[in-house]
Chain A
Amino acid sequence: MTTSVVGKNLRKVDGVRLVTGGAAFTDDIRLPGLLIGKILPSPHAHARIVRIDATRARALAGVHAVLTYKDVPRVPHTTAGQAWPEPSPYDTYLLDNKVRFVGDRVAAVAAETRAIAEKALRLIEVEYEVLPAVLDMERAMDPGAPVIHDEPDSTGIYDRQRNIAGYILREIGNVEEGFRGCDVVIEREFRTGRQQHCAIEPHISIAWLDEDARLVIRTSTQVPYHSRRQCAMILQIPVSRIHVIKPRIGGGFGGKQEMLLEDITGALALATRRPVKIEYTREEEFYMARTRHPQILRMKMGATRDGTIVASQMTVVATTGAYGSHSTTVQGNTGSKVLPMYRARHMRFQCHVLYTNAPVAGAFRGYGCPQGFFAQESVVDELARELKLDPVAFRRQNAIRLGDIDRLSAQLGEGREGLPRVIRSCGLNECLDRGAAAIGWERLRKARRRPGHLKRGVGVSCTMQGSGIAGIDWASAFLKMNEDGAFFLQAGASDVGGGADTVLAQIAAETLGVTLDKIVITSGDTDTTPFDVGAYASSTTIISGGAVRKAAEKVRGQVFEVAARMLDTTPDKLVCGANRVSTSDGLKRVTMAAVAMQAMYKDKLQIMDGASHYNTDSPPPFCVTFAEVEVDTQTGQVRVVHLVSAVDPGTAINPMQATGQVEGAVAQGIGYALTEELLLDELGRPRNPNFLDYKMFTAKDMPKLTAILAETDEPLGPYGAKSISEVPINGPAPAIANAIYHAVGIRIRKLPIRPEDVLRELRDCGAV
């Protein structure tokens, strides 16, 4: 299919505003009378509030409101920004008389200035009954362990007495039987760390009452519609009395798929009748926002001598921290999106998701897959070695392929039964071929060990993801034509910085036969755009884009009706392109602007229409990652020399943006592999909540990156698109771990891969 807008490297539609410093983000607004809100964080990992007295804080000049649990409605809810009914437990309260982690909300203040608000926090008198805390997830289910959610009104908790937020058990075939038939079986344990999203824009919400006393919440969110619904429930006002505005967002990565500050900011605005802003500091962002779920995984895989993987089993213990936001859904993904990578006849996934008195885990790019693929791809590498097979060839032999049906997905959906996945497009082999060529796989695998203390090796991993949640994610879009032949596109979708507005505008422009400048997009505003679940699950391009394409096709039909009358022909003989409508023989033509003027001032017709869209399947994008590393055997330091990420995203609507997604995901994935971990002390307090002690990579730290797009044509996607933003984050950790083995012969099974762990392993195996 030839296209003129889709598939082109066009500039971001919101780019000029961003490079010139124009007002764009949540905080880029001036509101007269704005108050500053602050939250009093719990200093204890687990405690009951015996007495709380805000009298002195309220008496402080400049303080307009202090809220404690006594002042707000008690409505159990989840902060997870998910479609109703959310599969996460309702175990969270606007404010509560119990705190469950260091950083949990104790009270909230709104004051004239930040200094006054901070002073007011210090004047709130709180008497705590400190309770024993459980920080180690392996102790959380022990008999006698402190019960974190002992409140009676929470719902959806699997087993509150044992701190089990959620439990999953799924099996296809019979793994025990499968393993009995294997020639080689490998079982290993893996541990993964607590990564933080580190969006450069921290969470921020500003709330006020508009001229009609409706509550307006301008907020840095991936999920404006879910936030509106949740705030309505928590604050006990009708949905239609709330207006959520998502401006430009300074990065989300899943951390903003969460109703995190909107409720408390809204409560303060209602209490004060003044505009209120709450903005997390960087430190608060680290432990009062969300993290990736730490997991302990036991991965068992078996194969026959001919290199066929027969059975795979993953047994996981994960912690969701103090609240169960995204608990079963993230962990469900660890099984459902990872195990089906290979065509084992027998698969089994079991997982306990446990509460601990730790910062809350939530959605994070990859959504459970980075943990699962680290375990699986490490074990696959070991299997290949046992079977004396090339790791690339072994993966190719066993990987899921075109026409396959992934039955595990049918068992393991979004917190409930899912739908089977049919593979209708698969560029995995091309990813393997082009990735191997780019890294120099054959050459590096055969290269002789270098003398000295710097050893090099190369590793590979195969990963996949989804494109939207099958049968649940849906979106809508609306288009109307203006006098100049341009179109307003109103989409519920939430561009959080990845370029969704541009991609959606490209899809609209392509379908309507106009140039990109003829599409003016408004998105993510609950008053002016139609519904969309939001930016998560790699859904926006395929689901929101699907809605845009449908709406544009309907509107194009209306354009053709008017143009047909103008050109004295029938609509079926018309085509559009280059801002014109013409007969398919090209003999007669009329400009879009002329069609618009005809419709509006002669036919008295507003050309406009909208559409909704969902899919009953979630086509996986595929990604093959190759890493070349250098291990310093004197220090244990691992340096990535070159990383190749080859991705099948379906069609890339904007290849420049798509490769940008790959590069960004890889950077986050390398950080997850090597340096990034939020550490807690023995009392559950964060030890490194800042960018000096929590190490992300700078421009100088980054290795050479090669992003490859191996495009396919996905029948379920608009113009063949699947998704791209998440899948590349899954690959770096296992590829790097496998490369370390190739370099120095040790297997590191814990993330992040710290120099001290590498050195210890080297010593233990006698390599040093």
Chain B
Amino acid sequence: MKKLTIRLTVNAAAREWSISPGDLLLDVLRREGYFGVKRGCEKGECGACTVLVDGRAINSCLMFAAQAEGREVLTIEGLGRDGALHPLQEAFLDHGAVQCGFCTPGMILAAKALLDRNPDPSEEQVREAMTGTYCRCTGYVKPVEAVLAAAKAIRRAP
């Protein structure tokens, strides 16, 4: 099959990948070892494959890898800095917001996209931002608490 080369930035590192035109971004990211991108439905319904593309939360199962050409992709692997966890990751652990952890990367990234554009969201806004991610374990109580706590921590950080 015909191959093509795409150039993109993943977690702040330049990448050049050979792909097939029909490859989904989800499949290519997982093939390249970004296991934090999960396959839950392949129909854009569950949100487990959420990544940020140019800062926006998208379902990577609904995007061709070819469409990522020249874009900046952030996966959960790129969220922490220098070995330290991001405040969202810290808050998810401290609030017991992680159970099985399968939807966690998608939830955290959806929350990151929200906090980047609105550092002080209401609970309603947090819930709205997380509607794209199904969680079957938590009932969303602790994830919502965690996002609100992380927002506070980020606002206080120097």
Name A251's contact: one of B77, B85, B137 (CB within 8 Å).
B137
The answer to whether the Cβ of A248 comes within 8 Å of any Cβ in the partner chain is yes
- Interchain nearest-CB distance for A515 vs B (Å): 17
A-facing residues in B94-112 (Cβ within 8 Å): 94-105, 108
Residue of B nearest to A114 (CB): B27
Chain B residues with CB under 8 Å of A497's CB are 99-102, 137
A199 within 8 A of B: yes
**A22 on the interface (CB 8 Å rule)?**
yes
Which of A140-148, A538-546, A652-660 lies at the interface with chain B?
A652-660
Determine if B96 and A659 form an interchain contact, defined as CB atoms under 8 angstroms apart: yes
What CA separation (Å) do A200 and B138 show in the bound complex?
A: 12
Q: How many angstroms between the C-alpha atoms of A279 and B48 in the bound complex?
A: 16
Interface check B135, CB cutoff 8 A: yes
Do B89 and A702 touch (CB < 8 A)? no
Q: Are B139 and A663 in contact (CB under 8 A)?
A: yes
As a 0/1 sequence over residues 123 to 158 of chain B, the CB contacts with chain A under 8 angstroms (1 = contact) are 000111011011111111111100000000000000
A24 within 8 A of B: yes
Residues facing A in B68-122 (CB within 8 A) are: 75-77, 79-80, 85, 89, 92-105, 108
* B103 proximity list for chain A (CB < 8 A): 200, 250
| Contact between B96 and A279, CB atoms less than 8 A apart | no
Which residues of chain A have C-beta atoms less than 8 A from B42's C-beta? 281-282
Verify B40–A700 contact, CB threshold 8 A.
no
A251 to B134, CA, bound (A): 12
Chain B residues whose CB sits within 8 angstroms of the CB of A21 once the complex forms: 34-37, 75-77, 105
Contact, CB under 8 Å: A15 / B75: no
Specify which chain A residues have a CB less than 8 angstroms from the CB of B38 in the assembled complex. Answer: 25, 200-201, 250
**B99, A19: Cβ atoms closer than 8 Å:** no
Decide: A498 and B99 in contact? CB cutoff 8 A.
Answer: yes
| Residue from A199, A698, A705 whose CB has the most chain B CB atoms within 10 Å | A698
> In the bound complex, how far is the Cα of B36 from the Cα of A250, in angstroms?
12
Query: Hey, which chain B residues are within 8 Å of A690, CB to CB?
Result: 41, 43, 45
Alpha-carbon distance between A6 and B12 when the two chains are bound, in angstroms: 41
Query: In the complex the two chains form, is A656's CB within 8 Å of B100's CB?
Result: no
Bound-state Cα–Cα, A410 to B94, Å? 43
Given A15-B93, A691-B45, verify A699-B39 contact (CB < 8 Å). Answer: no
Contacts of A496 in B (CB 8 A): 100
Most chain A CB within 10 A, of B34, B38, B80, B136, is at: B136
Q: Are the C-beta atoms of B127 and A700 separated by less than 8 Å?
A: yes
Q: Which residues of chain B come closer than 8 Å to A700, judged between CB atoms?
A: 127-128, 130-131
Q: B102 touches which one: A12, A16, A20, A25 (CB < 8 A)?
A: A25
Interface-central residue, B33, B94, B99, B130, by most chain A CB under 10 Å: B99
Can you offer 15 A-B residue contacts whose CB atoms are under 8 A? A18-B100, A19-B85, A200-B102, A200-B135, A250-B103, A496-B100, A660-B97, A690-B41, A691-B46, A692-B43, A699-B126, A699-B130, A700-B131, A702-B139, A702-B141
* Contact call B80/A248, Cβ cutoff below 8 A: no
How near does chain B come to A564, taking the closest CB pair, in angstroms?
Answer: 39
Q: Are B100 and A282 in contact (CB under 8 A)?
A: no
Residues from chain A with Cβ under 8 Å of B140 in the complex: 663, 667, 698-699, 702
Instruction: Say yes or no: A660-B96 contact (C-beta < 8 A), given A668-B136, A702-B140.
Output: yes
- Judge if A27 is at the interface, Cβ distance under 8 Å: yes
Verify B100–A249 contact, CB threshold 8 A: yes
Residues of B within 8 A of A282 (CB): 40-43, 45-46
Residue contact A201 to B102, C-beta cutoff 8 Å = yes
Contact between chains at B76 and A253 (CB < 8 Å): no
Let me know if A664 is at the binding interface, CB within 8 A. yes
The residues of B that contact A17 with a CB separation of less than 8 Å are 101
Residue of B nearest to A707 (CB): B141
The answer to whether B134 touches A698, judged by C-beta atoms less than 8 angstroms apart, is yes
Q: A656-B96, A663-B138 are in contact. Are A16 and B77 (CB under 8 A)?
A: no
Q: Does A752 contact B (CB under 8 A)?
A: no
Given contacts A201-B38, A690-B45, contact A15 B130 (CB under 8 A): no
> Chain A: which residue is nearest B109 at the CB level?
A21
Report Cα–Cα, A691/B47, bound state, in Å: 11
Q: Contacts of A698 on B, CB cut-off 8 Å? A: 127, 130-131, 134, 140
- Are B139 and A250 neighbours in the complex by a CB distance under 8 Å? no
Asked if A27 and B137 sit within 8 Å, CB to CB, the answer is: no
Given contacts A663-B141, A691-B45, A700-B128, are A19 and B136 in contact (CB under 8 A)?
no
Given contacts A201-B40, A690-B41, contact A248 B101 (CB under 8 A): yes
Task: Tell me the interface secondary structure of chain B in the complex.
Answer: loop
Please tell me if A239 contacts chain B, counting CB pairs below 8 Å. no
A201 to B101, CA, bound (A): 10
Chain B residues with CB below 8 A from A705, complex form: 139, 141
Residue A202 at the B interface, CB < 8 A?
A: yes
Shortest Cβ distance from residue A645 to the other chain B in the assembled complex, whole angstroms? 10
- CA A656 – CA B95 in complex, angstroms? 7
Q: Which residue of B lies closest to A665 (CB)?
A: B139
Contacts from A to B (Cβ < 8 Å): 9, 11-12, 14-25, 27-28, 30, 197-202, 248-251, 253, 279, 281-282, 496-499, 656-657, 659-660, 663-668, 690-692, 696, 698-700, 702, 705, 707
B76 to chain A, nearest CB (A): 4
Nearest Cβ on chain A to B89's Cβ, whole angstroms: 4
Q: How many A-B residue contacts, CB cutoff 8 Å? A: 180
Known interface pairs A281-B41, A702-B139; 9 further A-B residue pairs with C-beta atoms within 8 A, sorted by A's residue number:
A15-B93, A19-B108, A24-B35, A200-B48, A665-B139, A690-B41, A698-B130, A698-B131, A700-B130
Give CA–CA (A250, B134) in the complex, Å. 12
**Smallest CB-CB separation from A696: which chain B residue?**
B134
Please name all residues of chain B whose beta carbon is closer than 8 Å to the beta carbon of A666 when the two chains form the complex: 139
Most chain B beta-carbon neighbours within 10 Å: one of A11, A253, A281, A699: A699
Given A16-B85, A282-B42, A656-B95, CB of A250 within 8 Å of CB of B101:
yes
CA distance A30 to B139 in the complex (A): 33
Max count, chain B CB within 10 A of own CB: residue among A18, A279, A666: A18
Closest residue of B by beta carbon distance from A18: B101
- B133 proximity list for chain A (CB < 8 A): 699
Interface centre among A250, A499, A665, A707 (most CB of B within 10 A): A250
- Cβ-closest chain A residue relative to B124: A700
Contacts A690-B43, A705-B141; A18 near B136 (Cβ below 8 A): no
**Bound CA span A197–B136, Å:** 9
Nearest chain-B residue to A197 (Cβ)?
B136
> Nearest Cβ in chain B — how far from A135, in angstroms?
27
Nearest chain B CB to A166 CB, angstrom units: 29
Residues of B within 8 A of A15 (CB): 92-93, 98, 101
Shortest Cβ distance from B131 into chain A, in angstroms? 4
Shortest Cβ distance from residue A692 to the other chain B in the assembled complex, whole angstroms? 6
Do B100 and A248 touch across chains, with their CB atoms under 8 A apart?
Answer: yes
Given A251-B136, A698-B134, A20–B100 Cβ distance below 8 Å?
Answer: no
Q: Lowest 3 CB-CB distances: which A-B pairs, in order?
A: A21-B36, A497-B100, A18-B101
Q: Is the CB of B104 within 8 A of A660?
A: no
Say how far B142's CB is from chain A's closest CB, in angstroms.
6
Cβ of A144 to closest chain B Cβ, rounded Å: 41
A666 to B140 CA separation, bound complex (whole angstroms): 11
With a cutoff of 8 Å between Cβ atoms, the chain B residues found around residue A281 in the complex are 41-42
What 1/0 flags go to B23-55 for Cβ under 8 Å of A? 000000010011111111111011010000000
For the complex formed, measure the closest distance between the CB of B55 and the CB atoms of chain A, giving whole angstroms.
18
Q: Are B135's CB and A12's CB within 8 A?
A: no
Q: Known: A282-B41, A282-B43, A657-B96. Contact between A664 and B76, CB under 8 A?
A: no
Which chain B residue lies CB-closest to A704?
B141
Which of B30, B77, B142 contacts A660, CB < 8 Å? Answer: B142
**Closest chain B residue, CB of each to CB of A282:** B41
A250 engages B100 (CB within 8 Å):
yes
A668 CA to B137 CA in the complex, in Å? Answer: 8
Q: A12-B93, A15-B93 are in contact. Are A279 and B138 (CB under 8 A)?
A: no
A11 to chain B, nearest CB (A): 5
Bound-state Cα–Cα, A667 to B139, Å = 5
In the assembled complex, the Cα of A41 lies from the Cα of B77 at a distance in Å of 37
A200 touches B46 (CB 8 A): yes
Instruction: Please measure, in the bound complex, the distance between the C-alpha atom of A657 and the C-alpha atom of B94, giving whole angstroms.
Output: 11
